[in-house]
Amino acid sequence: MSTPTRKKDRLFAEQILPGDFEFDKEVAEVFEDMISRSVPGYTTILDMIAILAENYIQENSKIYDLGCSLGGATFAITRQLPNIPCSIVAIDKSSAMIDRMEKKKASLGTTMALIECRCEDILNAEIFNASVVVLNFTLQFVQLSDRQRLIEKIFAGMNPGGILIVSEKIRFPDDKLNSLFTDMHHGFKGNRGYSKLEISQKRSALENVLIPETIDTHRSRLTQAGFNSFDVWFQCFNFASMVVFK
């Protein structure tokens, strides 16, 4: 999804008043630049989600991209889909994100007709006949008390043999590892041009909004909901992507 017109993220470059991070119009405008300079392996993860979707899509079923932002995973999947009848439902509760995604979809032409973009809270969204479900860095923004219910709803809406992909920022039970990986992540952002001020202001803005959990917590929640064959298929520092099957 990288384009020469991609706008650079400078949202935290100047000293700003404290406040919680929001997925508003300003963030949507720079989102592609922001996520690819902030999440180690983001492009690889999208490419691999497309391959997983290609392998697990079932005829006449749906793919759900939950918390789709600008449709990074959705558009990667559409490039890789086999020629079988299916559709993709891309959901985000930020209208700024969905508006931009709709524009991108329109610019890509009629082959994108299989994508339905919805501005909706995933906690209220109906999920059914799903063979592939993607939560790519979305669950971390859902309130802790709502996470189990959401995962159970996804399980109920999936077909047997379907795959759920969950990518998250993660926490470690060991404090030493937590600070090592946090430092490495900040080093990664520094190498990609973010200043110390940008890194620390973004960190404070996300503090109450992005709540990471340990891999064990994810495993317990997913298996408790009924999913099987849990494993981590990608990890770089404190970012991981997990798969489970129904």
Residue 32 Cβ vs ligand GEK, minimum distance, rounded to whole Å: 8
Mask of contacts with ligand GEK, 82-111, x by CB under 6 A?
Answer: ---------xxxx--x--------------
Mask of contacts with ligand GEK, 28-47, x by CB under 6 A?
Answer: -------x------------
Q: How far apart are CA 38 and CA 34, in angstroms?
A: 6
72 forms part of the interface with ligand GEK (CB under 6 A)? yes
Spatial strand order of the sheet with 130-136 comes to 115-119, 86-92, 61-66, 130-136, 158-169, 239-245, 228-236
Q: How far apart are CA 24 and CA 7, in angstroms?
A: 15
DSSP at 210? -
Mask of contacts with ligand GEK, 140-179, x by CB under 6 A?
Answer: -xx-------------------------------------
With CA atoms as reference, report the closest residue to 77 among 101, 46, 119.
46
Residue 99 Cβ vs ligand GEK, minimum distance, rounded to whole Å: 12
Q: Which amino acid is at 117?
A: C
Mask of contacts with ligand GEK, 115-144, x by CB under 6 A?
Answer: ------xxx------------xxx--xx--
**What are phi and psi for residue 42, nearest 5 degrees?**
-55, -45
DSSP at 113? G
**What are phi and psi for residue 154, nearest 5 degrees?**
-60, -45
Q: Which of 11, 68, 117, 154 binds ligand GEK (CB under 6 A)?
A: 68
Q: Tokens in use for 89?
A: 């439902």
Q: Which of 69, 131, 201, 241 binds ligand GEK (CB under 6 A)?
A: 69
Residue 119 Cβ vs ligand GEK, minimum distance, rounded to whole Å: 9
Q: Which amino acid is at 68?
A: C
Residue 240 Cβ vs ligand GEK, minimum distance, rounded to whole Å: 13
* Closer of 161 and 193 to ligand GEK (Cβ): 193
Q: How far apart are CA 14 and CA 85, in angstroms?
A: 49
Kindly list the residues in this chain that would bind ligand GEK in the complex (CB under 6 A): 23, 35, 67-69, 72-73, 91-94, 97, 121-123, 136-138, 141-142
